[in-house]
Amino acid sequence: MTETLRVAMIGHGFMGAAHSQGWRVAPRFFDLPLEPEMSVLVGRNRTTAEASARKWGWAEVATDWREVIARDDIDLVDIVTPGDTHAEIAIAALDAGKHVLCEKPLANTVAEAEQMAAAAARAAERGIRSMVGFTYRRVPATTFARDLVAAGRIGEIRQVRAEYLQDWLMDAEAPLTWRMQKERAGSGALGDIGAHAVDLTEYITGQRVTGVSGIIETIVAERPLLGEGSGLSGTATSERGPVTVDDIALFTGRLESGALASFEATRFRTGRKNALRIEVSGSKGSIAFDLERLNELEFYDATLPATQLGFQRILVTESDHPYLAPWWPTGHMLGYEHGFSHQVYDLVTAIDEGTQPLPSFEDGLHVQRVLEAVERSSASGGSWVSTAD
């Protein structure tokens, strides 16, 4: 009889749906050492929370997260709320002896992230594990890219270009949601999607970003307010409110080896829907990935004879590719949602083995330092800012 891992998920927006898919599907495809139980979904509004719980398969609903993390029949807390609540919930859950999965970015500020990382370190001494939900590390093609880089197949890294391009805010009449309010989201494109570009760069290269120079910009300064209690999918009203976060972030960076990197995070790149792209160029070759073609990895092997040179389009769907074995035969493709099942597999395995799941809260704190350094650089006209603590 496999030991159970009783999960409480706090929040039930878009990430609530995606995380629920992971908790529900992973046990049906992966041999998990612990059996996750979707025990409690926590939401402020009982009616909408009950609708989500029914749809996604959670056994129970609660409206007070503090009561839930105090229960001794909960083992893990999965935080999928807006960034302004991550620190309070994660620290309370860790101190209560619960494992924690926290959505990205880890926090809204470096100060919060430092407190979270300290709580995670304390908890780890008691065998309590924590991880940040940078799920694009768990697309098979990005882990395969990391494996190629780690095996030296592109040689010494010279240059990285990482960008996360969306266009869902190009309509100036799109309503003012929490993601456009600094006190709720911490930052705009920079933290929401720029964090993914930074984390994926550090994951694939195995190197930290040590310093940045950047510029951030708000394109649309005010937007229609949402009606009361209307949530993310609410209707806009005639009243307008200020956008207090960035819409576009552009920055350069340097990696530990001295390699140079350029980053772009935007929700105004017209025509690009969810294009997280990274190209890593080295002395012996290059890799290139695009989330809008997530089953593929481009690989350029510069050691081949000149007549054979060119980017290979590798279909990352073989059973020997990362995470693929439990899924479908070659060529049957995976989707956006599979990364959330891979996240469950890695987290549950680490908890069972007593190892540190990655990315850790320390990794999340480092990404927060990069984000804050970009904001400081932009505020000082683009000066170079170290990401050292």
Which residues of the chain form contacts with ligand SOE (CB under 6 A)? 14, 166, 192-193, 274
**Closer by beta carbon to ligand SOE, 56 or else 300:** 56
User: Could you tell me whether strands 60-62 and 209-217 are parallel, antiparallel, or unpaired per DSSP bridges?
Assistant: unpaired
3-state secondary structure of 333: coil
Give min distance, CB of 215 to ligand SOE, in A: 20
Minimum gap (Å) between residue 380 Cβ and ligand SOE = 27
Closer of 137 and 153 to ligand SOE (Cβ)? 137
Between 166 and 213, CB nearer to ligand SOE: 166
β-bridge mates for residue 299, sequence order: 287, 312
Q: Residue 69 carries which side chain, given as an amino acid letter?
A: I
φ/ψ (deg, to 5) at 68: -70, -40
State in angstroms the smallest separation of the CB of 164 from ligand SOE: 8
CB nearer ligand SOE, residue 132 or residue 193: 193
Q: Which residues lie across from 296 on neighbouring strands? A: 315
Instruction: Tabulate helix, strand, coil % of the chain (nearest 5).
Output: 35, 25, 35
Residue with Cβ nearer ligand SOE (37 or 375): 375
Taking a C-beta distance cutoff of 8 angstroms, is the pair 385, 209 a contact?
Answer: no
DSSP-assigned states of every residue in 108-129: SSHHHHHHHHHHHHHHHTTT--
Any idea of the CA torsion for 280, 285, 291, 294, to the nearest 10 degrees? -150
- For the chain, helix (H) and strand (E) counts, in that order, are 11, 17
- Smallest distance, Å, CB 123 to ligand SOE? 25
Whose CB is nearest to ligand SOE? 192
Q: How far apart are the first and last CA of the chain?
A: 46
**263: burial class by Cβ within 10 Å (0-12, 13-18, 19+)?**
buried
CB of 169 to ligand SOE, least distance (A): 9
At closest approach, how far in Å is the CB of 122 from ligand SOE?
A: 28
Token digits for 155? 């040689």
Tokens of 78: 């999965």
CB nearer ligand SOE, residue 177 or residue 387: 177
Q: Which is nearer to ligand SOE, 181 or 286 (CB)?
A: 181
Q: Which residue's CB is nearer to ligand SOE, number 218 or number 274?
A: 274
Bond preceding residue 175 cis, omega within 30 of 0: no
